[in-house]
Chain A
Amino acid sequence: DTAVSQTPKYLVTQMGNDKSIKCEQNLGHDTMYWYKQDSKKFLKIMFSYNNKELIINETVPNRFSPKSPDKAHLNLHINSLELGDSAVYFCASSQGGLVYHEQYFGPGTRLTVT
């Protein structure tokens, strides 16, 4: 049973394209996150949603737009992809957005922009 799943696992695309990454969790958590891990392995939070509402929006280009249709899903849409967007994107979930609980990460989506 996959707790946090992401699709696709690999994504290779050209500059200027628009792409989406999907995330689903079956843990019943109320908070979901998107993180970016760059080539230097630095993991940085991008967005956090609690009960479908945006609660954290770090300094991220507005080409990145998260969408949460329900508590179990948090998708990430990226417009006009740039070379610098190449990274591994991790989705995560936890129970409780304002008090810490363990975060469970998805397997990651490796995005390569050419």
Chain B
Amino acid sequence: RKEVEQDPGPFNVPEGATVAFNCTYSNSASQSFFWYRQDCRKEPKLLMSVYSSGNEDGRFTAQLNRASQYISLLIRDSKLSDSATYLCVVNVNSNSGYALNFGKGTSLLVTP
């Protein structure tokens, strides 16, 4: 089983739609969770951290379910500029230090 799994998509949605992405992780010792955004041929950038109680940042809502080892990202009122790949990221602390495990990403295309 891969350490971080995501549905690759693509998700094609019209402007204004609500879309949700899911992610599962395999390591129950994981402590920190994030969503990064990567535009085509660009570097990944942090979108938001994911907290145990769930958190919201404008149109974006992230949820964490530790029991099911599951993370979600909800985007409301989609904009054309939301088109990108969304990477689910999970950390694992080990004796060798801190590592981030990235999912392969979910591709989103918002159409007019």
> Could you list which residues of chain A lie within 8 angstroms of chain B, going by C-beta atoms?
40-45, 48, 50, 55-58, 90, 97-100, 102-103, 105-108
Contacts and interface: CB of A to CB of B under 8 A. Distances in A.
Given A41-B85, A42-B104, A98-B93, A56 B99 contact: yes
Contacts of B105: 41
A60 B43 CA distance: 21
User: SS class of chain A's interface: helix, strand, loop or mixed?
Assistant: loop
Given A40-B104, A41-B105, A100-B91, A56 B96 contact: yes
Given A41-B104, A100-B100, 11 more contacts: A48-B99, A50-B97, A55-B97, A56-B97, A97-B97, A97-B98, A98-B97, A103-B46, A105-B44, A105-B45, A107-B42
Contacts of A106: 43
SS class of chain B's interface: helix, strand, loop or mixed? strand
A57 B45 CA distance: 23
Contacts of A100: 31-32, 91, 98, 100
A43 B98 contact: no
A61 B31 CA distance: 29
A105 B42 CA distance: 10
Contacts of B93: 98
B60 interface: no
A97 B93 CA distance: 10
B98 A56 contact: yes
Given A90-B44, A100-B32, A107-B43, A42 B102 contact: yes
